Structure 1
C-alpha cells in the first residue's frame, strides 16, 4: 500500500480544500508513491514522535498539527522544527497533517468533543463560506436527463439534506463549426439553432475535478460549453465548532466538574457564573476565542474551547459560561478519531496510536 492510498482516504474525511488559508496541511514530508510499512497517529510531531515511529517501524506519521507552518530557509537543526524535519528525512519517514481541514469536517475535531461530552442534536457552529461552487452547462433537450445523471453521479447537486438538486432552463442554442470542427449536431460551416436545456448545479469544491472529468466524457457535442462560479454561500455541514445539547441540564459548577473529569484536564478556566443551568453547549477544539460571539448567537449556555485571553472572558457579558479547558485537552481525542477512522479501512495494517503526550503545558 502506498502513502497516496492512505492520504486519499484521509481526505474523504477531511478534504484539504476545507483547510483555512493560513494553514499548511497535506503531505509535508515524503513521497506519495512510497510503500507504507506502518502508520503512527499523533497530535503533534516532535523529535520523540519520530523516534517512536522509528522504534515501531512506522514510516508514515499522521499528525493533527503540522510541524511546518511557514516557509523554512535553513535546515541546520537550530530549532525543534528543523530537528524534526531533519530526523524524519534522514530516517525516510513521511509526515502528513490534517489540522484545520479536520477542524472544518462535520465528523472532525468538534464532533469528537461532542461525542465525548455526550451532546446530541448537534450542528455546525460556524458554517464555512466559499466551499460551494456552481456549474452551469448545456445539453440538447433530449439529453438533459442523461446530463443531470452524469453530474449527480460525480457528486454535484447535494445541498444539505437534499441531493440531485438542479435548476433547468430551456432555450435555443446557436453555434457554427469552422473547417477544423467535427460537429456531433449539424454540419461544419453551417449556423445551427438547437433546442437545449441549461443545467445549473451546486457542488462542493472538493468534487470539482471529478465533475468536470465526467462532464468532458459526455458526447452530446464536440465541444462542451460550461462555466463555473464561486459562491459566498455558507454550507451547513462544513465549518468550525459545533453546538449541541446535554442529555439533561446541569448546574454550572456540576457542569465544570463534569467537564474537568470527562476532558481529562487539570484546570478549567472559566468566566463568572450566570446562575443559569447548562443545557445547550458549544464546543470548538483548539484556540477558539474568535467564536465566542457565535456561541452566544447560537443560544449556548456554555462554550468550551481553549486559549482565551484575560480580556476575552469579559465577552461572556453574563450571557454565557466560558470554559477554557486547555488547547491540548480540547484536541486530545482527535488522534483516537483518526486511528478509528483508518482502522475501519485498513484492517490488516499496523495503525498505531502514539503513546507520547505532546502537551507542552503543565500545571502545578
Structure 2
C-alpha cells in the first residue's frame, strides 16, 4: 500500500466531485491548513465545529472533508478568543487540514442528492435543475497511413471517441501530406531540405471538454511525427447535463401523509413539516438537499407531486401551496447522508489506487435543532 499526502487524496476526490461543479458563490476547497503532509486518516463530516475537530484529534485524523464550508464569508481577522478563531487555531496547532465540498458534492453523480434519492428509493432519476454541461470537442489529426491504427487505439484508450454506449468511434478520410524538413528538424519521414509527400489519414474523434488535455497528451505521445498537424473544434452539442436536485418515481403511489411518514423513517429525522393536502396522492418526487425554497418552480416544471427539501420559509411554502406542489421538509441536516456515502466511495476509490489511508465517519451530531413533541 502506498502512503499518500493530502494532495493525492483531494485529487482523487475531485475526479468525482470537481470544483467546477460548484456554484460561483460557493467557497469550496481547502479552508484550513495544507495538503502537502502525509495523511493516514480522513474524517468525513457534514459540518466542522469544535467537537468535530476534537473527534479528529482523538481518532488521529489529520484531514477533514466536510460538506458545509467552515469559513463561508470572508474573514477580516482571526481572533483566537472567538469560537471560529479558536476552531481554526486548534486545527493549525494539531496539523489538521480542512477541505470543503459543498454544491459540487450536491451536483456530482453519486453525491448528496443521489444519496438522498437512493434513500427514498426513487427510480428513473433525472436532474431537477441543470447547472452545468461540458463542451464537446472534435479532434482532427493527420497521420501516416501505416501508423493510423496505433494512433486511433491510443486516442480511444485516452477516452476519445466514446459516444453513448459505443467506444472507439472515429472517422477517417484519406489525403496527402506535404512538408519540407528544415535544419534542426528530426523528421520521422523525409530528409532535411527536401520536399516530401506522404499518404496520410485524417482521423476525427469527439471528446468531452474535461479530458481534452489527457487526449492531447496521448495523441502527441503516440504520433510518429515530431510536429503533428491537428485541430480542436468546439461543437454545438453538449455532454451530459449536471445539476442540483433529483426527480424520480416512487415504486407505488401513496398519499402525502403516508409519504411524509416514509420520509421521516428513511431519512432518520424526528419530525417533518408538510405543505399540502395530506390525502393528495404522490408518485413523482423531487428532492434537494439543503435549502430548497428557491427551487419550487424547478420542481414544479419537472412535474413533481411533492418536493422534499429543507429550510422552507413561510412565503415559499405559500407559493408552493398555490402551485399545488406538496412539500415535505425534513430539515437541512438530512445532508448527513454524505458522511457514509463519501467515506464508502473514497475508501473504495483509495483501495483501487493502492492508497494506505482510512476514511472515518464522524459520529458527532451537528444538528442544531431539538424537537419537543
TM-score normalised by length of structure 2: 0.84
Tell me how far apart the structure 2 counterparts of residues 169 and 83 of structure 1 sit (CA, whole Å).
66
Tell me how far apart the structure 1 counterparts of residues 148 and 130 of structure 2 sit (CA, whole Å).
33
Q: Which residue is 2:206 aligned to? A: 201
Is the deviation greater in 220-229 or in 94-103?
A: 220-229
Asked if 2 retains the 8 angstrom alpha-carbon contact of 1:284 and 1:305, the reply is yes
- Alignment counterpart, residue 7 of structure 1, candidates 3, 7, 10: 10
Tell me how far apart the structure 2 counterparts of residues 79 and 303 of structure 1 sit (CA, whole Å).
38
SS in 2 for 1:85: helix
- Alignment counterpart, residue 239 of structure 1, candidates 236, 240, 243: 243
Q: Which residue is 1:327 aligned to? A: 332
Is the deviation greater in 68-77 or in 293-302?
A: 68-77
| Alignment of 1:264 onto 2:236 | no
Asked if 1 retains the 8 angstrom alpha-carbon contact of 2:80 and 2:86, the reply is yes
Is the deviation greater in 184-193 or in 258-267?
A: 184-193
Q: Which residue is 1:352 aligned to? A: 360
| Alignment of 1:163 onto 2:167 | yes
| Alignment of 1:287 onto 2:291 | yes
Cα distance, 1:246 vs structure 2? 1.3
Tell me how far apart the structure 2 counterparts of residues 155 and 90 of structure 1 sit (CA, whole Å).
44
1:180/1:349 CA distance change after superposition, 3 Å: closer
Tell me how far apart the structure 1 counterparts of residues 235 and 75 of structure 2 sit (CA, whole Å).
34
Structure 2: 5+ residue runs without aligned partners? none
Equivalent residue pairs, number: 362
- Equivalent residues in 2 for 1:4-43, closer than 5 Å: 4-43=7-46
Higher Cα Rg, which structure: 2
- Alignment counterpart, residue 99 of structure 2, candidates 92, 96, 99: 96
1:208/1:26 CA distance change after superposition, 3 Å: farther
Asked if 1 retains the 8 angstrom alpha-carbon contact of 2:208 and 2:239, the reply is no
Cα distance, 1:44 vs structure 2? 1.1
Q: Which residue is 2:256 aligned to? A: 252
Q: Which residue is 1:337 aligned to? A: 341
Tell me how far apart the structure 1 counterparts of residues 262 and 275 of structure 2 sit (CA, whole Å).
16
Cα-Cα RMSD: 2.9
Asked if 1 retains the 8 angstrom alpha-carbon contact of 2:257 and 2:278, the reply is no
SS in 1 for 2:367: coil
Structure 1: 5+ residue runs without aligned partners? none
